[in-house]
Amino acid sequence: MSRWRVEQLHADFQLGLKADKVLYDSETDHQRLVVFENRTFGRVLTLDSVVQTTEKDEFIYHEMLAHLPILAHGAAKKVLIVGGGDGGMLEEVLKHAGVEKVTQVEIDAGVIDFSKQYLPSICKQAYDDPRLDLVIADGADFVANCTERYDVAIVDSTDPLGPGEVLFTDTFYGKAKTCLAPGGILVTQNGVPFLQGGELTNTMRAFKALFADAACYLATVPTYAGGPMAFGWGCDDPARRQVDQETLERRYEAAGIETRYYNPAVHRGAFALPNYIKELIP
């Protein structure tokens, strides 16, 4: 028998997904983890009743947070992922042969073990890749003590509730910046601005104080309902955001990756912001 699962994220707005079959429902040390099957979206992962990813639309979010900064950088060898236990981000990042090392810092080992078993179509064989250095730790502690320098750092977090909250603070962003190599790029998940405008405002205020170039870009992910999702962009080299389409096309071709959302025209266009979102940026 199918039942509706309702996301409990916004005070005035709910997302309901039919659960044709619940495959898993349990508490880890950090959060409640559920996976259910939905006819349209495939397997759906929720943490504390908030949709994190689904088999059918995960490509949009993961491609836009992985390929966009890596191709904008042009020579990324070391990548840091904070969060992302489902492995979808890792899998996209590892598609780049030029990436020599990926450090992934995930607070919840339970999500990783679980994803290997229940979401293999999302993480594929990513966790077996020898380029991966997997660290089970709090992302905030990790960036505060990190001695390596990364070309691209991706914050693939939950929303700022529960374990993900610290990943939205000015302190965290400041420490994350210290993990970047010169000209390195920091990208972050910043929620759906129509419903979570304060999140974007706060992050953009922090980024403007920290980086020579602070911006955000957008992508529409069906199960992150309420309009496009915003991703933060911070970099001390403003040229990285201005790379022209022809150069991006060349890099994309050379990378030899297949994508279903990302392409260089979408990359450039993603930085065009509607006025209601511009107004949220200090």
Task: Give me the residues that bind ligand AG3 (CB under 6 A), please.
Answer: 9, 50, 52-53, 84, 86, 88-89, 156, 158-159, 189, 191-192, 196, 224
Nearer to ligand AG3, 188 or 248 (CB): 188
Nearer to ligand AG3, 69 or 84 (CB): 84
Cα 59-44-187 angle, rounded to 5 deg: 40
Closest residue (Cβ) to ligand AG3? 224
Cα-atom radius of gyration of the chain, to the nearest Å? 18
Please state the closest distance from residue 15 (CB atom) to ligand AG3, in A: 8
Whether the Cβ atoms of residue 228 and residue 193 lie closer than 8 Å to each other: yes
Please state the closest distance from residue 199 (CB atom) to ligand AG3, in A: 9
Q: Has 133 been annotated as catalytic?
A: no
Estimate to the nearest angstrom the gap between the alpha carbon of 9 and the chain centroid: 18
Selected catalytic residue, list 86, 151, 156, 159: 156
Please state the closest distance from residue 47 (CB atom) to ligand AG3, in A: 8
Please state the closest distance from residue 98 (CB atom) to ligand AG3, in A: 22
> Taking Cα atoms as reference points, which of 159, 142, 130, 31 lies closest to residue 81?
142
> Taking Cα atoms as reference points, which of 193, 232, 250, 274 lies closest to residue 69?
232
Nearer to ligand AG3, 151 or 159 (CB): 159
Q: Is 203 helix (H, G, I), strand (E, B) or coil?
A: helix
Nearer to ligand AG3, 192 or 200 (CB): 192
Placement of tokens 């969060």 in the chain = 83
| Distance from C-alpha of 213 to C-alpha of 61, rounded to nearest angstrom | 22
Give the DSSP per-residue string, 34-48: EEEEETTTEEEEEET
Catalytic positions, written as ranges: 156
